[in-house]
Amino acid sequence: QVQLVESGGGLVQAGGSLRLSCAASGRTFSDYSLGWFRQTPGKEREFVAAMRWAGRSTYYADYADSVKGRFAISRDNAENTVYLQMNSLKPEDTAVYYCAAGLSWDIYSPKNYDYWGQGTQITVSS
């Protein structure tokens, strides 16, 4: 079992930056795919960024088109923590952000993740 606890959310002005952290407990998650998703009222939870193991110490990361070049996902396996660095934030980035862990190499669907953080609100003001 993996428990995920998020931190780092809050209110930020457009163009600003935030860094989200997601700390895992319960077991080492070096073998897990780790993802970030976001959700707004009335919409399905959408993929933002994710990272999966790609051989030895190599990891593969991908991003939604809407955040490419602005967001960066990283992980620290020793600390069982995944991060989402968010730069050049836009009002349309406003959402509840969730971190997730799973064992599927299909990292894009929320249905492939078994463990979820509690969610943290990101609000970007105009």
Pairing mode, if any, of strands 120-125 and 10-13?
A: parallel
Tokens of 36: 């970030």
Count other Cβ atoms within 10 Å, centred on residue 111: 10
Contact 23, 90 (CB under 8 A): no
The single-letter code of the amino acid at 7 is S
pLDDT tens string, the chain, 126 residues long: the values are 789 999 999 999 999 999 999 998 876 667 789 999 999 999 999 999 999 988 777 889 999 999 999 999 998 878 889 999 999 999 999 999 999 999 888 999 999 999 999 999 999 999
Q: What whole-number distance in Å separates Cα of residue 73 and Cα of residue 84? A: 5
Q: What is the pLDDT of residue 10?
A: 95
